[in-house]
Amino acid sequence: MFCSPVKVRDLFALARKNAPCILFIDEIDAVGRKRGRGNFGGQSEQENTLNQLLVEMDGFNTTTNVVILAGTNRPDILDPALMRPGRFDRQIYIGPPDIKGRASIFKVHLRPLKLDTVLNKDNLARKLASLTPGFSGADIANVCNEAALIAARHLSDAINQKHFEQAIERVIGGLEKKTQVLQPEEKKTVAYHEAGHAVAGWFLEHADPLLK
């Protein structure tokens, strides 16, 4: 959504009017980038919007009863003024979900899918969670979508476990490049390299589980 200083002013006026309330700004880096960079000058719409946001947050105190939260994947590019005391001075880092979190997310995304009758959704969610270390919620949604697409390509009536395994490989490795055929010597080199990963992962206590 396009944002402007007027919209920021109206947003904070609405928040004060409805206090107590929580004001959440998602993807704040869209308006909160460091000033004085890029091709825009000091009077750009983005900088004016950021300045208005800073002004509005300066007017808040402990009696305002409005809590302001924001989300971003790029905290490194935010303007330092946003991080000063009284503004976004407390940061909470949210990393990728653990295996229990991934299982819960899979349950949500498996719900609308037409699965093979032999599959139990709870068991399948736990199985897929163990096969997807380091996956984010968006990656998990992508796996479920890819599995449905693979099942459709094979003209299957329902999605089975093999479709999910192929979808995970697709998300991790990308499209299969059938035109790029490895020569025997290249295959041998790649095999040694990947075997090294597997052996190291098997013996290291805190490494991601060996999957395939």
According to the model, what pLDDT value does residue 85 have?
Answer: 84
pLDDT tens digits along 4-15? 888 889 988 898
**For residue 73, which of 104, 49, 90, 94 has the smallest C-alpha distance?**
94
Q: Known catalytic residue: 146?
A: no
The pLDDT value recorded for residue 1 is 47
What is the spatial distance between Cα 50 and Cα 79, in angstroms, rounded to a whole number? 9
pLDDT score, position 139: 94
The confidence score (pLDDT) of residue 75 equals 87
The confidence score (pLDDT) of residue 38 equals: 56
27: nearest Cα among 1, 57, 4? 1
- Residue 26, both tokens: 């998602």
> Please, where are the H alpha helices in the chain?
5-17, 29-32, 45-58, 99-110, 121-130, 137-153, 161-173, 184-203
Mean pLDDT by 10 residues, the chain (212 residues): 78 89 90 71 74 83 81 89 86 90 96 93 93 92 95 94 92 78 90 92 83 72
Structure token pair of residue 169: 């490989």
pTM reported for the whole predicted model: 0.66
Q: Look at residue 153 in the predicted model and tell me its pLDDT.
A: 93
* Options 27, 45, 186, 194, the catalytic residue: 194
